[in-house]
Amino acid sequence: MKRVLKLSCLILYTIALSACASGAPVMSTGVSTDGRYVITAHSGGGLYLWDIQKKEKKHLAKNAYSYSAYFIPDSHEFMWQDDNDIVHIQDINGKEIKSFKHFKTEGQIMTADKSFYLSADTWGKLYKGYGDNLVPIYTDEPVGPSQPYTLSIHGNYILSTYDTITGRNDPPAETNLTANPVNPDIHKKSSYDGVTLWDKTTLKPIARLWGNSGRTTGRISPDGKWVVTGSDNRGNFMWSVQTPNLRLGIARIGDGIYDNKIKGYDKSKLLPVPEKFNDMQKAGLFSVLAVAFLSDKDFILFDRNAKDRIHPIYTTGDVWIQGYVDLGERKSISQSNLSIGSSPKANILAISQGSGIAVYRYHPATKELEKIWVAD
């Protein structure tokens, strides 16, 4: 009888563990360039591959580091890191292309040809490559971040976004940069935290972009012309990559754009919210979780509140709202800045929802989102 009871308890315990694992939220998300697949890593170690076309979910691993899921551009290959700090590159059929030992990553990306691997460690330091080819890019950081880096690569540009504080008198951008990003001194200075644009060839900083404060996230636009950011301080901005001192504040629902000249909000070109959305909660964008591009130029800023259904659509180079989309009723959402992924080329968006994902197709002509799959 005791053996039966022990066996029963063991079975129940195993089921409970399985339930906990399957209920774990998404922490990092990657979408294949063709919009066919999504890869997610969850708190608790789960790694899942989602086939959008077939509406199928496959459990790949139970020991994945939660911030490591990433689809390599223009391929059906993705990266993830296990709890032994091994980074795996494998394809959707399970074939392992490459693996290598690395430090624990909090943000990793790779170019389509696999020639450039960029990663951040848990102390907020950035590196190119791995193993014997590891090259420091930025090590002048004394403390670890409150959330992982958001990293982008486009052409010869790298964008790193990280916790920051902008002072009242800081300029839109700082381009005369003299501080050594690889500071050998034991006393670190946080010389390039926040939003920094780097030269991919020289690995030197090009511009520090000021305006955000607190937890900050951002992306380079798919056409390579703009940097878009959002953060905790209501500061959501765009900068021209070619002219970093050109910083544009982004309009918010209801408020419009703050104008220093009038010491108030300009609503002159604010697009009205459609009546059909009147009774639905709108995203205030006072604290932005993530930036996702839906096409080469159109993007969405995600609020951290799961109850916010209506979100504005923007276009790079234009500060005003271009349209409104309804994300629908959502379960609790992950608070990880890496939990939202998109394929601008395929107009596919994947966001966390409960322990699973919600997938949308974006229609650029009408500025509308179509929900095509919700899965746990």
156-183 tens-digit pLDDT? 999 999 899 999 899 999 999 999 999 9
pLDDT at 14 over 70: no
pLDDT at 16 over 70: no
pLDDT at 22 over 80: no
Mean pLDDT of 205-220: 96
Structure confidence at residue 40 (pLDDT): 98
Mean pLDDT of 236-263: 94
Structure confidence at residue 4 (pLDDT): 38
How do residues 295-348 score in pLDDT, each as one tens digit? 999 999 999 999 999 999 999 999 999 999 999 998 789 999 999 999 999 999
Mean pLDDT of 73-82: 98
Structure confidence at residue 13 (pLDDT): 33
Mean pLDDT score across all residues of the chain:
93
pLDDT band, residue 143 (cuts 50/70/90): confident
pLDDT band, residue 237 (cuts 50/70/90): very high
pLDDT at 59 over 70: yes
Structure confidence at residue 326 (pLDDT): 97
State what percent of residues in the chain have pLDDT above 90.
87
Who has greater pLDDT, 3 or 122? 122
Mean pLDDT of 143-155: 94
pTM of the full predicted structure? 0.92
What does the H/E/C string look like for the chain?
CHHHHHHHHHHHHHHHHHHHHHCCCEEEEEECCCCCEEEEEECCCCEEEEECCCCEEEEEECCECCCCCEECCCCCEEEEEECCCEEEEEECCCCEEEEEECCCCCCEEECCCCCCEEEECCCCCEEECCHHHCEEEECCCCCCCCCCCEEEEECCEEEEECCECCCCCCCCEECCCCCCCCCCCCCCCCCCCCEEEEECCCCCEEEEECCCCECEEEEECCCCCEEEEEECCCCCEEEECCCCCCEEECCECCCEEEECCCCEEECCCCCCCCHHHCCCCECCCCCEEEEEECCCCEEEEEECCCCCCEEEEEECCEEEEEEEEECCCCCCCCCCCCCCEEECCCCEEEEEECCEEEEEEEECCCCEEEEEEEEC
pLDDT at 77 over 80: yes
